[in-house]
Amino acid sequence: MAYRKTPAEIRRLDTARERLVARATEVVAEVGWAQTSVTAVADAAGIAAGSVYQHFPSKAALAVEVFRRAAGREVEVLGEVLHGPGDPLERLARGVRVFARRALDNRGLAYALLAAPAEPAVGAERLAFRRRYRALFAEVVREGVATGRLPAQNDEITAAALTGAIGEVLVDPLGTPADDGTDDLLADLTALALRCAGAPTP
């Protein structure tokens, strides 16, 4: 008869896995994907390196889980803002500001999610999440067109341009220490996003 883990064992393993992912996320935010080794993660979690493989078959599998969790949270937050109150232009502007502010408040992790060199498995996840961002932006642009707040356009192309532009604008600031220019950067980035979507100039 095959051995079955008890509920207590399953809870213990789940708790250990969650702690491992959390510590791995901290390591990635501090040193990037390239310098994040299984040993470094194990040390941060206070376990032996071999114990990592009880939860993940490889470093790549752990990295993918870290990326999915962290990027998934950012997509979730952006979706909440873009689906929130206000007309489409207000939500678009608010979504860009919230996304950029969250990135600038956690620069190491945001840089890892957006641009840091990573192994192919993480690169594939990055592309998949860019599609999710594009879908959110396309939805709000489409609504803006339907309500007459934005001119007729290909919402998918505009969404792709927005996704790429926002990430590109943030890359350099994320790689440098925080300074006093954050508010100006957020204002300029928001204005750029609205121009890209064809919003009327105030």
- Tens of pLDDT along 132-175? 999 999 999 999 999 999 999 999 999 999 999 999 999 999 98
Mean pLDDT, all residues of the chain: 93
- For residues 66 and 28, is the Cβ–Cβ distance under 8 A? yes
Radius of gyration of the chain (CA): 20
> Residues of the chain whose pLDDT is less than 50?
none
**C-alpha neighbours within 13 Å on the C-beta side of residue 176:** 9
pLDDT at 202: 64
- In sign, the C-alpha dihedral spanning 99, 105, 107, 110 is negative
pLDDT the model gives residue 178: 74
| List of domains in the chain | 60-196 (1.10.357.10)
